[in-house]
Structure 1
Amino acid sequence: MPSEPGKTKFQIDLRAHLREQNISDNLVHLICEIAEASKYVINAVRTGDLGVAGTSNLYGEEQLALDVLSDRIMRKRLIHSGVVCNIASEEMEEIYQVTSNPQGMFSVAYDPLDGSSLVDVNLAVGTIVGIYQGCDLLQPGRKMVGAMYILYGPRVSLVYSIGKGVYEFTMNQLMEFTLTKEDVQMKPSGDIYAPGGLRKKYTEENERFIRHLEDKGSKLRYSGGFVPDINQVMMKGKGIFMYPALTDSPNGKLRLLFELNPMAYLIEQAGGAATNGKIPILDIVPDGLDQRAPVYIGSREDVEKAGEFLNGHA
């Protein structure tokens, strides 16, 4: 990758890097606007109210004040970006239409602060974003033109892809995102696993798969936050995250549009895989904003092995 004169590749900032990727100016602008919004979200995380907001989202879940504030920050930035026609947020009940003219525009689905209930115990949380060309948000994730997450941990990192590999940027002391890893790659198999959900509610097939992972020596590494757990698998380049169907929740917990599609896009771009146990996450056609799905995501061979157990072939 070419670098600016006098700069190493790890001094390249996000905007300069994006301009080298041969994408539209509007897409460059959109990704940079989301990155700018994240600076206000991390400030809210560090200093904001940890209480409840007294409202609920479209799933009937009580919203935290940080959820509402983070959503407001992200939505306002997207509305005023000038390049977005439709917005869907996990904290909004319906799609917000910015403009009916899709020419050169994008639609964005996002979870403004995934894992917000972990903030009061000082664990890592994050923002998840999926980007689509035009105004249609209810289409398979494989139609996305880009995806990203921002992890608010000991360091703030931004991981993105526009279908040309996966790149990690880290926020420096000037609150600028500079390149730290390029062409992130997953190994075929790993030795860590992050299992979500209450294990006593696992189906027998999932229980057998967990025992298989334990028998091969995989270590349990689960924080309770989707963004930090996926980031761990991605940056270590190995392992599997799963939130399966439970006996009382056959569709699992995680939302297709706001959480699973962007992460599946990123993991696939890094050479990994993501399925619901039967088909790739990115091939699922969403039937609404609130659709959920089980997920097995990470190293390709581990994800394929999960499918074998689930479908009785192991």
Structure 2
Amino acid sequence: MTAISPPGSTKFQIDLRRHLREEEEDRDLTRVICEIADASKYIINAIRTGDLGLAGTSNLYGENQLALDVLSDRILRKRMIHSGVVANILSEETSEVIEVDPGGKYSVAFDPLDGSSLVDVNLAVGTIVTIYEGSDLLQSGRNQVAAMYILYGPRTSLVYSTGRGVHEFCMNQLMEFTLTKENIQLQPSGNIYAPGGQRNLYTEGTEKYVSSLEEKGYKLRYSGGFVPDINQILLKGSGIFLYPHLRDKPKGKLRLIFELNPMAYLIEQAGGKASTGRQSILDIKPESIDDCAPIFIGCREDVERAEEYIARYG
């Protein structure tokens, strides 16, 4: 992992657009990624100053929408519509794919503000994005051409991959994203774990696995937000996040298209692994936009040990 000058430093900063250009990324893909980065400037302002109450509506999962969810969705949707290169968009806050331009080169799915219920207690939240070529969003995660997330915490950071490594950018005082870490890599195994879900509902395999981590001295580091927890694992280069199959939720809770696929893509690009406990997340072909799956994601050896426990104990 190559460290770059810290945010605020004047020494040789590389901004996001320049980095994409130097990587010789497709021009239209560069535009989509930069539009999302620009949208985040308005989302962070909404988080700092906006309404923290309910919007009076619910999303397709029956969850009450916060005003910030709705506003973040509108900001991203508008940027994608006006990009001129997007065929279809899909948001976790809407119930169907939105057709934008039949001639568009890319389709984009996003969770506009993952963990939004944490904003009112001032914890970190984020935006998660997946990008596919063409108009079909019901593809396996292997077909992603890019994935990214933006973390709104003490610092605002952007992490992306187009299949050539994972790179982190931080927002500077001018609200520009500049490169801070390049080619992020995970260690084979870690020493932290972030366990989601109610533990008394874990299956025997998951319970035995988590107990084995505790016996080895793994430290529990769970924030309740998917973006900050994955960001911690990536930037520390160590650890595993799990939101497993539960006794009352055999398919888990997290959404395949909006959350699991983009994070699995990023983790695998960094040398890690993402699994349901039985198969690779990126090999699942979604049947509908609201498909969920269990997830064990992080350092490769940690995930493989989880798979061994699931195979043996269920």
Question: Structure 2 length normalisation: TM-score?
Answer: 0.96
Which residues in structure 2 correspond to 1:35-184 (within 5 Å)? 35-102=37-104, 105-184=105-184
> Which of 10, 22, 25 is the aligned partner of 2:27?
25
SS of match in other structure, 1:241: strand
Corresponding residue for 1:281? 281
Larger deviation: 16-25 or 164-173? 16-25
CA shift at 1:265, angstroms? 0.2
Aligned residues: 308
2:241 is aligned with what amino acid?
F
SS at match of 2:205: helix
The whole-number CA distance in structure 1 between the counterparts of 2:313 and 2:95 is: 40
Give the match's secondary structure for 2:297: strand
Report how far residue 22 of structure 1 moved.
Answer: 1.6
SS across alignment from 1:126: strand
How far the C-alpha of 1:9 sits from its partner, in A, is 8.2
Aligned to 1:257: 257
Gaps of 5+ in 2: none
Which letter maps to 1:274? A
Q: CA deviation at 1:135?
A: 0.4
Quick check: 1:234 aligned with 2:217?
A: no
- Give 1:10 deviation, angstroms: 5.4
- Unaligned stretches of 5+ in structure 1? none
Q: CA deviation at 1:101?
A: 2.1
Q: Closer, same or farther in 2 for the Cα pair 1:129/1:10, shift >3 Å? A: farther
Matched letter for residue 83 of structure 1: V
Q: Cα deviations across residues 61-98 of structure 1 (Å, max 9, x unaligned)?
A: 11011000000000000000001000010001000000
Q: Is the 8 A contact 1:110 1:127 kept in 2?
A: yes
* Matched-pair contact (CA < 8 Å) for 1:86–1:98: yes
Contact 1:9/1:179 (8 A) holds in 2? no
Aligned partners of 1:251, 1:10: CA distance in 2, in Å? 47
CA distance in 1, matches of 2:11, 2:252: 41
- Report what 1:185 is aligned to: 185
Q: Is the 8 A contact 2:193 2:239 kept in 1?
A: yes
RMSD value over aligned CA atoms?
1.6
Code of the residue aligned with 2:42 in structure 1: it is Y
Secondary structure at 1:311 match in 2: helix
Contact 1:85 1:98 in 2 (8 A): yes
What is the percentage of aligned positions where both structures have the same residue?
A: 69
CA-CA distance at 1:99 after TM superposition: 1.5
* Contact 1:205/1:310 (<8 A) preserved: yes
Partners of 1:239 and 1:8 in 2: CA distance: 33
